[in-house]
Amino acid sequence: MSLAGAEIGISDKRNQGTPGQNSPSARQLGMWHYHYYAYPLLLMLEIWFPGRCSDGYMDFDLMYMSELDPTWYDDELSFFTTPEAVLFTNPGALAACIPDALATAAGQPIQELFWCMGNWGTMYPFTGNTLEKGDLAANTSQVGTKAIASMHRRGLARLTMGDDSLCRPILFPTIPKPQYKMSMFYPIAETQDTHWIGEATVNWGMWRNTPTEQDAVYILWRWQDCCNSML
């Protein structure tokens, strides 16, 4: 959808993904892929943007494709790149996500609970598997958040918020949830507001789907602090 319907045709048809199914007699995993694009809107529009704030993104560009990542397909294979997942895939860690869900509903997510996605579930494992079909907004938001978290885990995304990041973005191995907000762009755009990571879809998007579309595009808004001078 981001490339006007162009078909890249690089993946095995057996691994193209499926939204799964959810019925009284059948329940299977959904499998979703993602394409991660750079979209530095202010630079592309040539709106004032200090040079010291640049993180290297200069134009619209394809940065990552999950079809080329074998760890995105398999939960067990993903464990070898994120062994800390064993600490957060247990009932105690899942119960700790309840405050994050409440905080997201009241304001913004809790950074210390970095393994939680509020009302969307747990962050780990970093794969495209979802438990059930659910609604389009919930599943695609969950997959999108896992994608961002995996970028931070691998050093491909940086921390841009806070005093430590004023002069340049820095490495941050977990996702800084308060740094990001999301807005659905396709199939039905959010035109009036954005939403936090983990915010319940009943507030912003469980109705944003069409019977013929099972893909989604999100714009990721990132808070960026930077230093600047008059010289």
List, in sequence order, the alpha helices (H) in the chain.
41-44, 75-79, 85-88, 91-95, 97-106, 136-153
Q: Give every CB contact of residue 126 below 8 A, 6+ residues apart in sequence.
A: 71, 72, 78, 81, 82, 85, 146, 149, 150, 153
Q: Assess whether pLDDT exceeds 70 at residue 57.
A: yes
| pLDDT tens-place string over residues 187-218 | 899 998 999 999 999 999 888 888 777 789 99
What is the CB-side half-sphere exposure of residue 21 using CA atoms within 13 A? 5
What confidence score (pLDDT) does residue 161 get? 92
Residue 130 confidence (pLDDT) above 90:
no
**What is the DSSP code (8-state) at residue 18?**
B
Q: Which residues contact 48 (CB under 8 A, 6 or more apart)?
A: 42
- DSSP codes, 161-223: SSGGGSSS-EE-SS--GGGEEEEEEESS---S--EETT--GGGTTTT--BTTB---EEEEEE-
Three-class DSSP category at 73: coil
Query: How many Cβ atoms are within 10 Å of 21's Cβ, its own excluded?
Result: 13
Q: How far apart are CA 16 and CA 136, in angstroms?
A: 17
pLDDT in tens, 20-43: 554 444 455 788 899 999 988 877
- Report which of residues 8 and 124 the model is more confident about: 124
Mean pLDDT of the chain: 84
- Say whether pLDDT at 56 is over 90: no
Alpha-carbon gap, residue 127 to 198, rounded angstroms: 17
pTM of whole model > 0.75? yes
Instruction: Give, in order, the Cα–Cα distances in Å from 84 to each of 73, 130, 157, 196.
Output: 18, 20, 19, 24
Q: Which residue from 192, 183, 156 is spatially nearest to 171, judged by alpha carbons?
A: 156
Reply yes or no on whether the pLDDT at 72 is more than 60. Answer: yes
Give the span between the Cα atoms of 37 and 148, in whole angstroms.
11
What φ, ψ does residue 199 adopt, rounded to 5°? Answer: -70, 135
Band of pLDDT at residue 10, cut at 50, 70 and 90: low
Please state the φ and ψ torsions of residue 158, each to the nearest 5 degrees.
-125, 160
Question: Computed over its alpha carbons, how large is the radius of gyration of the chain?
Answer: 18
